Structure 1
Amino acid sequence: MKYRKLGQTGLDVSILSYGASSLGSVFRNINESEGIKSVHAAVDQGINLIDVSPYYGLTKAETVLGRAIKDIPRDQFILSTKAGRYGEKLFDFTKKRIMTSLEESLGRLQTDYVDILLLHDIEFGSYDQVMEEGIPALQQLKAEGKIRFFGVSGLPLTVFEKVLAKTELDVILSYCHFSLNDTSLLSLLPLSEQKNVGIINASPLSMGLLSSRSVADWHPADQEIRTACKKAAAFCERNGEDLAKLAIQYAVQDKRIPTTLVSTASKKNITKNIKWAEEPIDQELLADVLEILKPVHNKTWPSGNSEWIV
């Protein structure tokens, strides 16, 4: 496993990280024992960053993860969780709720601190509430030693620009913006380097678009994006390859992106993903797939309140 520096945090993070959303049965009902084994397999094979949220499975993911990590020495992994999102449409970025949210997470995770705390999907909250209450809560928790570093997560890249224009962050978590079909996250690199912010890239499969499996009905991508990705998957299959493999390899190859989160509750799948990340990418296949996806390159979908987009 290779490791890279996460901004100015001093943390060396594995290029592939473990996204624990699957432990909350977000994508399918999981076997808890198998989910715990997947966490252990990830750490045993060199993954050292684990990310979760109380939103995933409505606290189930944190609870199962807590049972998994209690058997692992605390210094062997970097733990990231979130606060502010608690349901499909339930968001609360008040200072009081962020403080109590962390305490609840610590209980479920069976630990006395987290390495990283992120405000979750801030584009759905009020800008004023995030900036005047949410960020100060993170600053206080860091000062108290209950978290080591903090940041925000969201889909629109404008949310990071807006927050970084007013305050300092240690980390940002961006998803669906550094993958085969969308590399717009690269536009944020000059600002992140200027501000010494570490970047966590999530969803290299673009929430299932870059896979041979059927795309979930809830996926917000329009038909043009879906069709292009389906065409790329079919092309890979005809050539005896897996689009998901290519997508993971592509996401981890850029040294400017410290780490990429993949989510699975399967020991077999996390082992396969790690193996893929360590294999050299097929440059000819990559060029062909990028050409197929060219018509939808950097095309995304709306997310959140309009005040964050402008």
Structure 2
Amino acid sequence: MSLRGSFLGGPLGFGAAPLGNMFRDIPDDEAVATVEAAWQAGTRFFDTAPFYGAGLSEIRLGNALKDHPREEYVLSTKVGRLILDEKETGRTGFGDKDGLFEFGLKNKIVYDYTAEGALKSIEASLRRLGVDRLDFVWIHDLAQDFHGDGWLAQFEIARTGAFRALNKLRDEGVIKGWGLGVNRTEPIELLLGLSEPTADGSLLAGRYTLLDHEHALQRVMPAAQKQGVGIVIGGPYSSGVLVGGPNFEYKRAPAEIGPKVKALSVLADQHGIPLKAAALQFCLAHPAAVAVIPGASKPSRVKEDHAALGTVIPADFWRDLRAQGLVSRSAPLPIDH
């Protein structure tokens, strides 16, 4: 099925990675309050993953949504990793990025892109979330940033394993659709080139933002648009650096990022708009984009996101953005529609 039109409540979803204690130890009540703030603001699409805090994000999201009717929201999670009962004696989880979830649960995590692994992962996610079904399932981190030069071998395991298992679940009506959930463009390019099995969309994080969109713009987005495959945009604020945070690519931003962020901020100030608004609306301006899912760990951040999406941005801002070379000249902008 096409992802377009699948997201109740509009294109602004909720990325639940922060609920896994990404970067900081978030109190349980604050996590639940953040999800409830999203609900009250009209969010009806929630995305999580077993990797986020070794199951903590799924547990918290399920707890926060338990009093809301299941048919009134869209839920996605991911496969490709299994959370084991045994505890991790070193850093939190297998394949963790520089202790990204060091404040999460201490369960060991192993990769598993086989069909059996995907089904086990879904079963465990349903238990943690406390629900009887999922809407979309993304195959997680099947890319160079986690597997290095071995990513193509892992992709082949998934192609003959998890891909086919999810395709079958979709065709049987158990889930609405599936695809990849990655931080790199190459795996989605490869997926779009396959004739079988057929994905319904993918979640691309951090690769279609004001700061970084050239590769996705050239390869992934046009192919997805042509095939009618929807792209959910994750990480619209480039790990926070676009909205005043210190991180880019999930770690401290390198010095060369600063000048471009500064130029974008100056332009936004000149036009009297928050840069967050431009960041969100830029992502959704591409015809292939069907939703955007910024992460939030505080109720106030959720309110900012909804306000940003509703901000009226002057056409001159977008014209200046393009004229100053701060975005690719071929990137679709809201004024192009």
TM surpasses 0.5? yes
Shift of 1:296: 9.4
- The reply to whether residue 267 of structure 1 matches residue 299 of structure 2 is yes
Q: TM-score, normalised by structure 2?
A: 0.77
- The reply to whether residue 35 of structure 1 matches residue 31 of structure 2 is yes
- The reply to whether residue 71 of structure 1 matches residue 67 of structure 2 is yes
* Higher RCO (C-alpha under 8 Å, 6+ residues apart): 1
Identity of aligned residues (%): 26
Q: Which residue of 2 aligns with 1:186?
A: 217
| Alignment deviations for residues 71-93 of structure 1 (CA, whole Å, 9 cap, x no partner) | 11111110000011454524221
Shift of 1:155: 2.5
Q: Which residue of 2 aligns with 1:172?
A: 202
Q: Which residue of 2 aligns with 1:23?
A: 19
- What amino acid is aligned across from residue 174 of structure 1 in structure 2? L
Which of 48, 51, 61 is the equivalent residue of 2:57? Answer: 61
Contact 2:230 2:290 in 1 (8 A): yes
- The reply to whether residue 200 of structure 1 matches residue 232 of structure 2 is yes
- What amino acid is aligned across from residue 310 of structure 2 in structure 1? E
| Alignment deviations for residues 248-275 of structure 1 (CA, whole Å, 9 cap, x no partner) | 2322344542111111021121012101
Shift of 1:137: 1.9
- The reply to whether residue 95 of structure 1 matches residue 115 of structure 2 is yes
Q: Which residue of 2 aligns with 1:246?
A: 278
Q: What runs of 5+ residues in structure 1 fail to find an aligned partner?
A: 1-5, 299-310
Structure 1's 293 and 267: CA in aligned 2 closer, same or farther, altered over 3 A?
farther
| Paired residue secondary structure (2:289) | coil
Q: Which residue of 2 aligns with 1:3?
A: none
| Alignment deviations for residues 176-235 of structure 1 (CA, whole Å, 9 cap, x no partner) | 222212333333233223332121011111112212232269538654234422453366
- The reply to whether residue 159 of structure 1 matches residue 156 of structure 2 is no
Q: Which residue of 1 aligns with 2:103?
A: none
Contact 1:176 1:182 in 2 (8 A): yes
- What amino acid is aligned across from residue 109 of structure 1 in structure 2? L
Q: Which residue of 2 aligns with 1:308?
A: none
Structure 1's 222 and 130: CA in aligned 2 closer, same or farther, altered over 3 A?
farther
- What amino acid is aligned across from residue 157 of structure 1 in structure 2? T
Shift of 1:293: 6.5
- What amino acid is aligned across from residue 223 of structure 2 in structure 1? L
| Paired residue secondary structure (1:16) | coil
Q: TM-score, normalised by structure 1?
A: 0.83
Tell me the matched-pair count.
Answer: 293
| Alignment deviations for residues 130-152 of structure 1 (CA, whole Å, 9 cap, x no partner) | 11112112123335544221111
